[in-house]
């Protein structure tokens, strides 16, 4: 009984913290999406949804291995952690935009055309886990702590901290901060950035296999959880996938978090609603695609107090994936109280995956 009371108190406190953070995120995103919407916005969105759905089978082509440049971290970067050597990687992102008319805009985001990652390399023939950050993240010093890199190294994994499009060093000069341009109300840029993320991740994982990595898995939080689930719906060669506090429906989150905002009221006046956004984002929605991995190589992790990517997001993915293992902790999106058990579940998944 006492444990239940404590857990409920943690959940309430974590939820309150998330709500305060959410107000900041909503203000930041609304500033990045300001501008006069075209009067025919509904018709344009219908057209975009039809075009993306019509080419869905071609939206995630398989890339060649990345042409990677390796460098040691700069003077402020950790060069070794837990016996593993840190190596900074960069490579040209050669993603071919799905919509031809977006190519010129895509090319103007110059910094985003180079992909960046930090590889914690503990030795030859070790499986590699990609760790994918949330919205606004990507700084290596922060992600080392968020993903408990020393722990992942101890359980026998190499670790790859990967910067998603428009984040970290990929944030273009047009953006006021990391993640300001993705995801956003600019639906074409959002769609194409998910296509670019999966392209770059697969290109880097192909390069790793050329280097001798025996297997590649992925875990990600929030936006990174969405990308984790998406990658698992595209690539059957992944060893395992662990979406944590995942977003799984961009349309549901945008519509829910925009409630009462001027942007949502303006959208409603133009005849835009959540089902219309569902159709536009369907091409990359993890809930619209079958997972490519068996259930025993999947783990969903979620916080009961999460109010940024609420529990119903994780539950929807869990059901869509055929109810694989799911782990709940009492905390929320930011105050992930109790997530230590989640990382122990990750260890059990890794040991199970590589037992033979």
pLDDT at 251: 80
Residue among 189, 197, 232 at smallest CA distance from 117: 197
The rounded percent of the chain whose pLDDT value lies above 90 is 69
What is the overall mean pLDDT for the chain?
88
Average pLDDT of the residues in 298-321: 94
- More confident: 133 or 29: 133
Q: How confident is the model at residue 6 (pLDDT cuts 50, 70, 90)?
A: very low
pLDDT, one tens digit per residue, over 223-270 is 999 999 999 999 999 999 999 999 999 888 876 756 666 777 777 677
Residue closest to 227 by CA, chosen among 139, 293, 135, 328: 135
Residue 77: pLDDT band (50, 70, 90) is low
| Residue 253: per-residue pLDDT | 83
Q: What are phi and psi of 266, to 5 degrees?
A: -65, -40
Q: Does 275 score more than 80 pLDDT?
A: yes
Given a cut of 90, whether residue 195 has pLDDT beyond it is yes
Which is more confident, 18 or 82? 82
What pLDDT, on the 0 to 100 scale, is given for residue 81?
86
pLDDT, position 328: 95
Q: What are the pLDDT digits (tens) for 169-187?
A: 999 999 999 999 999 889 9
E-assigned strand segments in the chain: 69-71, 80-81, 84-92, 114-121, 128-132, 158-162, 216-221, 241-244, 299-303, 325-329
Which tokens is 96 given?
Answer: 């071919």
pLDDT above 80 (res 2): no
Q: What is the pLDDT of residue 293?
A: 98
pLDDT of residue 299: 98
What pLDDT is attached to residue 273? Answer: 79
Q: Which residues neighbour 157 within 8 Å (Cβ) at sequence distance 6 or greater?
A: 122, 126, 127, 128, 129, 217, 350
Q: Minimum mean pLDDT among 6-10, 179-183, 266-270, 350-354: which range?
A: 6-10
Listing DSSP states for 318-340 in one string gives: HHHTTS-EEEEESS-SSS-TTTH
Position 14 confidence tier, pLDDT thresholds 50, 70, 90: very low
What is the pLDDT, as a whole number, of residue 333? Answer: 86
**In this model, does residue 286 exceed pLDDT 70?**
yes
Stretch among 58-67, 330-339, 343-352 having the lowest mean pLDDT = 330-339
Q: Is the pLDDT of residue 19 over 60?
A: no
Architecture of domain 2-353: 3-Layer(aba) Sandwich (3.40)
Whether the bond between 183 and the residue before it is cis, its omega within 30 degrees of 0, is yes
Q: Is the dihedral of CA 281, 283, 288, 294 positive or negative?
A: negative
Distance of alpha carbon 51 from alpha carbon 35, whole angstroms: 24
Q: What is the pLDDT of residue 120?
A: 96
pLDDT digits (tens, 9 = 90+) for 94-135: 999 999 999 999 999 999 999 999 999 998 899 999 999 999
DSSP assignment, residue 292?
S
Burial class (CB in 10 A: 0-12, 13-18, 19+), 4: exposed
The pLDDT assigned to 260 comes to 64
Note the pLDDT of residue 15.
47
The residue-averaged pLDDT of 282-288 equals 95
Give the C-alpha separation, 264 to 259, whole Å.
Answer: 6
264 is written with which tokens? 């949502």
């Amino acid at each position: 009984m006492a444990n239940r009371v404590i857990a409920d108190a943690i959940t309430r406190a974590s939820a309150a913290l998330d709500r305060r953070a959410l107000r900041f995120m909503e203000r930041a995103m609304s500033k990045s999406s300001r501008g006069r919407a075209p009067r025919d916005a509904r018709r344009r969105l219908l057209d975009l949804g039809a075009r993306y759905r019509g080419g869905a089978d071609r939206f995630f082509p398989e890339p060649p291995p990345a042409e990677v440049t390796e460098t040691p971290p700069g003077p402020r970067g950790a060069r070794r952690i837990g016996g593993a050597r840190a190596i900074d990687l960069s490579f040209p992102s050669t993603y071919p935009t799905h919509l031809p008319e977006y190519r010129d805009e895509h090319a103007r985001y110059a910094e985003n055309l180079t992909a960046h990652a930090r590889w914690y390399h503990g030795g030859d023939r070790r499986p590699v886990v990609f760790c994918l950050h949330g919205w606004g993240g990507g700084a290596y010093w922060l992600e080392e702590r968020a993903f408990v890199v020393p722990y992942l190294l101890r359980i026998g994994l190499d670790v790859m901290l990967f910067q998603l499009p428009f984040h970290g060093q990929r944030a273009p000069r047009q953006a006021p901060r990391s993640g300001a341009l993705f995801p956003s109300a600019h639906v074409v840029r959002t769609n194409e950035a998910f296509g670019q993320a999966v392209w770059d991740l697969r290109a880097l994982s192909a390069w790793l296999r050329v280097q001798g990595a025996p297997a590649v898995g992925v875990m990600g939080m929030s936006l990174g959880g969405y990308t984790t689930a998406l990658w698992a719906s595209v690539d059957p060669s992944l060893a395992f996938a662990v979406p944590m506090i995942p977003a799984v429906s961009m349309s549901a989150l945008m519509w829910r978090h925009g409630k009462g905002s001027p942007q949502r009221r303006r959208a409603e006046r133009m005849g835009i609603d959540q089902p219309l956004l569902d159709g536009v984002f369907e091409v990359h929605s993890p809930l619209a695609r079958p997972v490519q991995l068996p259930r025993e190589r999947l783990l969903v992790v979620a916080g009961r107090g999460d109010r940024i990517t609420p529990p119903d997001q994780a539950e929807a993915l869990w059901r869509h994936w055929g109810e694989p293992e799911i782990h709940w902790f009492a905390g929320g999106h930011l105050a992930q109280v109790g997530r230590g058990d989640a990382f122990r579940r990750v260890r059990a998944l890794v040991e199970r995956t590589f037992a033979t």
